[in-house]
Amino acid sequence: MFVFLKKYEKVIILILSGMMALVLGLSTLDLGWLIFQDIIKPPMFLLSVDELLEIFGLFMLVVIGIELLETIMKTYLLPGQAHYEVVLSVAIIAIARKVIILDLKKTESLSLIGIATIIIALTVGYYLMKRCQKEKSDRGKIPADTKSAEQRPCTDD
Q: What is the pLDDT of residues 98-127, one digit of tens each?
A: 888 888 888 899 999 999 999 999 999 999
d(CA 77, CA 10): 7
Across 82-87, average pLDDT: 74
Mean pLDDT of the chain: 83
Enter the pTM of the model.
0.64
Residue 128 has pLDDT above 60, yes or no: yes
Residue 85 has pLDDT above 80, yes or no: no
Higher pLDDT, 143 or 103: 103
CA distances from 20 to 39, 47, 78, 80, 84 (A): 28, 30, 18, 23, 20
Express each pLDDT in 59-77 by its tens digit. Answer: 988 988 888 888 778 777 7
Higher pLDDT, 132 or 156: 132
Q: Note the pLDDT of residue 143.
A: 54
Higher pLDDT, 12 or 140: 12
Q: Note the pLDDT of residue 103.
A: 80
Q: Categorise residue 152: left if φ over 0, alpha if ψ from -120 to 50, beta otherwise.
A: beta
Residues in the chain: 157
Q: Note the pLDDT of residue 80.
A: 65
